[in-house]
Structure 1
Amino acid sequence: MDIGDVRYELYGLLSGNPYSSEPLNALDFETDRELLLELRGFVRLAAVEAAVERSIREKRPAFFLITGVGRSGRTSLANHIIYLYQRTAAADRSRFPFVVHGVERDDMTHDAYRLLRSTLLSLRNKMKSRHIRIPDELSDRFDALSLRGPADAMDEYDLQAIAQDTALAFASCDAGFGVRYESVSTKKLLTQATKVFETAATVVVFTVDTYEHADTVQLTQADRRAFARHGVVVDLNTLTPRQIAALADGRWTGQPPSPFDSKGVESAFSTRPYTIGQAMRLLEVLLDCRLVEYERDTPWPIEDLRMSESWLQLKMWQVEKWNGLRGGSHG
């Protein structure tokens, strides 16, 4: 067997390693919808879903602010919230077209007006591509907005009127939209976006990095309280060893049971904190290591494919040692 030959079929894994740490996208991929786990309190999905349902029932916007360091699961949760909104809004309807305007990390700027203007004009274009009728008055407002750059900015209440009429136009066609802002870099976007979409029936999700660098907004407790008056604040912290053990078990998609010894996972991951992205990457590597070391053809469940506490501790020590020699980290 070649050293790079990872035989996932021995574990009954039909789609490769289940611990791939790419962000989940529940709106576009049905298979991702069951993969976002609560993990013993890491995410309180019932509370998130209740907030979404309440906003739809009361015909008001659903605002969410998700904070956390890199690889803490912010994007996956943001996508899941938008999916929950779409699913709830589409209940009892045979057809419910839904579009999302997303501003990714690399496109985030400190110019809140430019971002909001682009959001509204993007929604106009999506309406046209989905053949959603744009009323004449709204069309005129869009035309005016396209000519009003940052040097001649529209008042936020004019933007609010455009957002409200946009939401009404979507609703008149049994359709809806959502907005996602990744790695927000200015507080103005939080305050102005909640004002602009204050009267629109939609979902707007912001993610914020909690580590300090020039492109990160630093939120005070006062900022968080101010946002909480409009929506829900969700903090994604590092995982406890017990939560990582639940992650190893919950994301397993192969032949049951999971080959990870739960107590062993707790022990091996107890030396320092890990984000969910870091933990997923390490579980991915550990699974591959176990398979590469295995030379027989007998499939799981078999003792030689089980990841025992002693094996996990040794491999985690080796990974940390190698990482230290490289001068790097998992984050």
Structure 2
Amino acid sequence: MPSDDEGLYKPYGLAECPYSNRVLNPFDDPEHAKLYSELDGFVDMRQIEAKLDEAVRTRRAAFFLVSGEGYSGRTSLANIIMFRYWQLLKLKDALPVYRAGNLDNDHEKTLRDTVLGLRWEMLLNSSATTDAKLDGLFDRIERTEHPDPGLQQAAATLAGRFSPYGVCYEKVPSKQLLTGAIELFRKARAVVVFTREAYDHSMTFELTAADRQLFNRSGMVIDLSGLTPRQVKLLAEERWTGEAPYPFSPEGIEASFAPVYQTVGRQLRYLELLLCRRLIDYDSDERWPGPPGLFLDHDFLVREVPFLRRVMDGW
């Protein structure tokens, strides 16, 4: 196996592993937008695009609730949604985005902080001017701890005076934040994305069928489930950036990744480790696609994937 200095993945014509699990953010790197795929039903981008297009056309807010386990790609999808909204708006400047994580159950304070944070973001990054009346409204909101009746007016004014914007609430702890944000931003030109952990613990909330129906009246609920073997096969193929063809046996992936459906982040980690394990015993200067020793065949995958699952059980 080549040393780190020589490049671990060099035999495949790679400078780095294409399966490294990382948060995708096209605002930082536009190439990330190309990495996100529907994966045969994992995400329905057409429905998302339709919601965003409607929001741009009607000059109203678009709301999305992205629900999934850890490593399911919640934050990546939130970033993709906001980036696509920015593209549809055809803005010359960057989309102002307010991000909130480590949230508590004080949803009223969270909403107040959001509007104030958006104001400063826009003042720092916009050539638009403010006035005494608008300054007075925000000064009052900043001094007031309880909900201010001018909060919705301020949220709509920001989008009208300065720019449409994005809001992302990570790991939303309560339904109150959902309903409060929808009421606050519904008249604004904005995209608002909530992410929810699909676990049973004190820092999340139950999402019932009635809750889903209610949210879908204003926005769209997106569930990020585990990948099927076919989706893992597509993921391996679409993320491959080395010399063609990608070095996995399609039949081997279908056989080895069933019947356990795990999140996209976990599946990417398996693919990364599988490449590493194939390189352990490879000691040649010959490059892919020539040598069979670099091919991850059916028997190799059927043997190694269950082993990796046992090793990574606590990951």
Aligned-residue identity in percent: 38
Q: C-alpha separation between the residues in 1 aligned to 2:75 and 2:124?
A: 26
What SS does the aligned partner of 2:137 have? helix
Is structure 2 residue 285 aligned with structure 1 residue 313? no
The Cα offsets for residues 152-193 of structure 1, whole Å up to 9 and x where unpaired, read as 3324xx2111101111112xxxx3310001110011100000
In structure 1, the residue matched to 2:100 is: 103
Matches within 5 A, 1:1-331: 7-14=8-15, 16-90=16-90, 95-104=92-101, 107-131=102-126, 132-149=128-145, 152-155=146-149, 158-170=150-162, 175-301=163-289, 302-323=291-312, 328-330=313-315
Q: C-alpha separation between the residues in 1 aligned to 2:131 and 2:252?
A: 62
Normalising by structure 1, what TM-score? 0.90
The Cα offsets for residues 135-158 of structure 1, whole Å up to 9 and x where unpaired, read as 322211110111112xx3324xx2
CA distance change for structure 1 residues 98 and 322 in 2, over 3 Å: closer, same or farther? Answer: closer
Q: C-alpha separation between the residues in 2 aligned to 1:248 and 1:96?
A: 35
CA distance change for structure 1 residues 268 and 211 in 2, over 3 Å: closer, same or farther? Answer: same
Code of the aligned partner of 2:95: F
Deviation at 1:99, TM superposition (A): 1.0
Q: C-alpha separation between the residues in 2 aligned to 1:194 and 1:260?
A: 45
The Cα offsets for residues 22-81 of structure 1, whole Å up to 9 and x where unpaired, read as 111122211101001110110111221121111101111111111111111111110000
Please tell me whether the aligned partners of residues 127 and 134 of structure 1 are also in contact (alpha carbons under 8 angstroms): no
What SS does the aligned partner of 1:180 have? strand
Q: C-alpha separation between the residues in 2 aligned to 1:164 and 1:30?
A: 29
What SS does the aligned partner of 1:317 have? helix
Aligned residues: 312
RMSD of aligned alpha carbons: 1.6
What SS does the aligned partner of 2:31 have? helix
What SS does the aligned partner of 2:136 have? helix
Q: C-alpha separation between the residues in 2 aligned to 1:77 and 1:283?
A: 21
| Structure 2 unpaired stretches of 5+ | none
Deviation at 1:3, TM superposition (A): 7.0
Q: C-alpha separation between the residues in 2 aligned to 1:116 and 1:220?
A: 24
What SS does the aligned partner of 1:329 have? coil
Q: C-alpha separation between the residues in 2 aligned to 1:249 and 1:186?
A: 38
Code of the aligned partner of 1:217: F
What SS does the aligned partner of 2:194 have? strand
Please tell me whether the aligned partners of residues 74 and 207 of structure 1 are also in contact (alpha carbons under 8 angstroms): yes
